[in-house]
Structure 1
Amino acid sequence: MTSGYRVALIGSGCWGSAIAKIVGLNVLNQPEIFEKEVLMYVYEEIIDGAKLTDIINLEHENVKYLPDIKISPNVIAVPDVVQACTNADILIFVLPHQFVKETCEKMASAIKPGALGLSLIKGFVLSEGEGIQLVSNIIKNTLNIETAVLMGANLATEVASEMFCETTIACHNPEYHPILSRLFQTPYFRVKVIENVAGVEACGALKNVVGIGAGIVDGLGYGDNTKAAVIRLGLMEMMKFTKVFLDSDDISVFFESCGIADLVATCHGGRNRLLGEAVVKSMKLRGWAGVDIRLLEKEILRGQSFQGPLIAKEIYTYLKDHEMLDQYPLFVAIHRICTREVDPRNFIECLRDHPEHM
């Protein structure tokens, strides 16, 4: 195992800051393997008259996206993504999936040959003319580097609070497996490394859509039995979509943390579950025409974005292009609720009339 790996973080939201806490301490405690300093790219914002990067570097806390959680002082916030990635051996991507392509294009000229990318981004990218793509492929093809993924039942605030959880890392090259374990493993964040990058990543994206459905059930006032039905039917559609999209029969990933565990966690505590519930409550308060996801983002997420509606749109576009809408009624209904084509009060009909019950 080579020493002196330089690590960079590309992104600094709630999840990015939680991972920065883990990576910062692991790098600091293993000087025989990693360089001490970790640069973290932060989209610059002004918070109470001060730059967010300055606040993070002075207080060692992301006061906007992950308040009250301390980040190791060796994690240095910088507002320039090129500066963050220069000379890095391992690039950890944790930013909204809709910004991946343009961010990678800015970084391309500064990437170190032989660097490894690692995507923690749970989403797909819909490109005109190319259709739906895995985020890891966007990073890999734009930067010409091997790209691994990390996905799992990892709600950011719980990880940051050191509540025990598991995660799944997937990397094609087994030579990287030990270094990735050393970079992320802690007593409360347990890592398993496998090789099925595409399968792990697809799980991480698809569960966000099902999570919205679970939230709709909560908003409508139904109980755990109904939510369990959403989880089961959603898992079936996830497995079916992954088989078609990836042309793979490997279902083993659904039994890793990135699979059923992440789905259950998302459907009970994730931000997309929160969105589904908020949509129904907003409808009751403001009327169906008054439901505005961008407004809900401001009210609930401190300006961050719900990724579920974008992923639902990307999946819907893929299914429509391939004339498969009727085969995925749960995914389709959730997309149409997010776009206000269907009243969420009709969601239970979708569950009751699902082809699985015919």
Structure 2
Amino acid sequence: MSDVTVQSVTVLGAGSWGTTFAKVLADAGRDVTMWARRPEVAAEIRDEHTNCGYLPGVRLPDRLTATSDAAEALAGADAVVLAVPSQSLRTNLKSWRDLLPPGAILVSLAKGVELGTLKRMSEVISEIADVPAGEVVVVSGPNLAREIAQGQPAAAVLACADHDRAVAVQRASFNSYFRPYTNTDVVGCELGGACKNVIALSCGMAAGLGFGANTMATLITRGLAETARLGAKLGADPLTFAGLAGVGDLVATCSSPLSRNRTFGERIGRGETVEQAQAAVGGQVAEGVTSCRSIRELARTAGVDMPITDAMYRVCHEGTDPATAGAELLGREQKHEWS
């Protein structure tokens, strides 16, 4: 696998991050075909080299094309990038499974834990595509789509138990503004990517309530602590959470107004309903709203205490007032920092 050259790449999904990662690959010299569910979006990407619904003002590379025909998109691909929301990944992949080119490297952009099964995205892909979980490459890190699409410098981590596969995708995506690193800790990278969306909700709510930098830093740090506790219980390398998939992704997602999860949380903190907050993020998926439910269940199953995640679940799904949830977090039993 280390000698494999990834030249032809298919990106399944034409949202913000899928389109941005397709641009990254094309700017790295790959031949990229995107699949878009709506024919008009595929036509815009192919003919106008824009995707104004998700990345207004961004011109896409000429070598990037698109189609709404999945079979056409997947034909001859060396790598297939799955760029659909975490909770719809299973259904979508079932429809694509028989079209996947044999031997193609499967790459996951989704960040979440599946409701019901409590599986990470690489586990869902492994099950549906009938490939070893260790062969799925996971992309994580501080990857706010709009900034990267504009060519602003950024890094990411590509995690795969089969390091050679991660290296192949690393070579295929490295360009002048995007620097990918490799990691073999898939569990840690996926949990970091899923949990940070939930912590970003809490930071947004704090901002909506009028709190400042101390509160944000506290939530980020304690959010990292509960994420690392869950990761350690499930076999992750603790060092992963000090890297791009851990603190790196947390800082970006919790502090930027470009983060849908932070924006959603801020609206809730200002007193808006869940429905109003969803409309405020343009109808795009704020993954943390769903992930707080599945991560909370995963933590309970593993016997891990995740108080911020639990608070976000109660606010988003049980109607608890954000200020009340915050007061309850502050009033918890005192303890040692690392207990």
Same fold (TM over 0.5): yes
Letter in 1 for 2:154: C
| 1:44-74 deviation line (CA, Å, top 9, x unaligned) | 06xxxxx222122111010101111111122
Q: Distance in 2 between matches of 1:228 and 1:320?
A: 25
CA contact (8 A) 2:139 2:157 kept: yes
Residue matched to 1:133? 119
Q: Distance in 2 between matches of 1:237 and 1:60?
A: 42
1:343 equivalent in alignment to 2:321 = yes
Distance 1:282 1:44, change over 3 A: farther
Q: Distance in 2 between matches of 1:296 and 1:66?
A: 20
Residue matched to 1:252? 239
Residue matched to 1:296? 277
Aligned to 1:27, the other structure's residue is in SS state coil
CA contact (8 A) 2:203 2:265 kept: yes
CA contact (8 A) 1:21 1:70 kept: no
| 1:144-176 deviation line (CA, Å, top 9, x unaligned) | 232110100111111111111211111222222
Residue matched to 2:74? 85
Q: Could you tell me which of 36, 42, 65 is aligned with 1:42?
A: 36
Aligned to 1:122, the other structure's residue is in SS state coil
| 1:181-231 deviation line (CA, Å, top 9, x unaligned) | 221112221111111112111110011000000001100001100111111
| TM-score normalised by structure 1 residue count | 0.87
Letter in 2 for 1:299: A
Unaligned residue ranges in structure 2 (runs of 5+):
none
CA contact (8 A) 1:81 1:106 kept: no
Q: Could you tell me which of 98, 117, 128 is aligned with 1:109?
A: 98
CA contact (8 A) 1:87 1:111 kept: no
Q: In the TM superposition, what is the alpha-carbon distance from 1:320 to its structure 2 partner?
A: 4.5
Letter in 2 for 1:330: I
Q: In the TM superposition, what is the alpha-carbon distance from 1:357 to its structure 2 partner?
A: 4.5
1:163 equivalent in alignment to 2:149 = no
* Count of aligned pairs: 329
Q: Distance in 2 between matches of 1:237 and 1:81?
A: 39
Distance 1:178 1:237, change over 3 A: closer
Letter in 1 for 2:33: L
Distance 1:23 1:353, change over 3 A: same
CA contact (8 A) 2:4 2:168 kept: no
Residue matched to 2:288? 308
CA contact (8 A) 2:97 2:128 kept: yes
| 1:270-293 deviation line (CA, Å, top 9, x unaligned) | 21111110112243xxxxxxx133
Distance 1:140 1:344, change over 3 A: same
Letter in 1 for 2:294: E
Residue matched to 2:191? 202
Letter in 2 for 1:135: M
Q: Distance in 2 between matches of 1:86 and 1:144?
A: 19
Residue matched to 1:33? none
| 1:115-155 deviation line (CA, Å, top 9, x unaligned) | 2111111111123xxx3001011112211232110100111
Q: In the TM superposition, what is the alpha-carbon distance from 1:322 to its structure 2 partner?
A: 5.6
1:143 equivalent in alignment to 2:129 = yes
Q: Distance in 2 between matches of 1:202 and 1:323?
A: 16
CA contact (8 A) 1:153 1:266 kept: yes
1:73 equivalent in alignment to 2:53 = no
Q: C-alpha root-mean-square deviation of aligned residues, in Å? A: 1.9
Residue matched to 1:48? none
Q: Distance in 1 between matches of 2:297 and 2:183?
A: 30
Residue matched to 2:179? 190
Residue matched to 1:26? 28
CA contact (8 A) 1:229 1:351 kept: no
Identity %: 28
Aligned to 2:66, the other structure's residue is in SS state strand
Aligned to 1:92, the other structure's residue is in SS state strand
Aligned to 2:17, the other structure's residue is in SS state helix
Q: In the TM superposition, what is the alpha-carbon distance from 1:86 to its structure 2 partner?
A: 3.0
Q: In the TM superposition, what is the alpha-carbon distance from 1:321 to its structure 2 partner?
A: 4.8
CA contact (8 A) 1:117 1:140 kept: no
Letter in 2 for 1:15: W
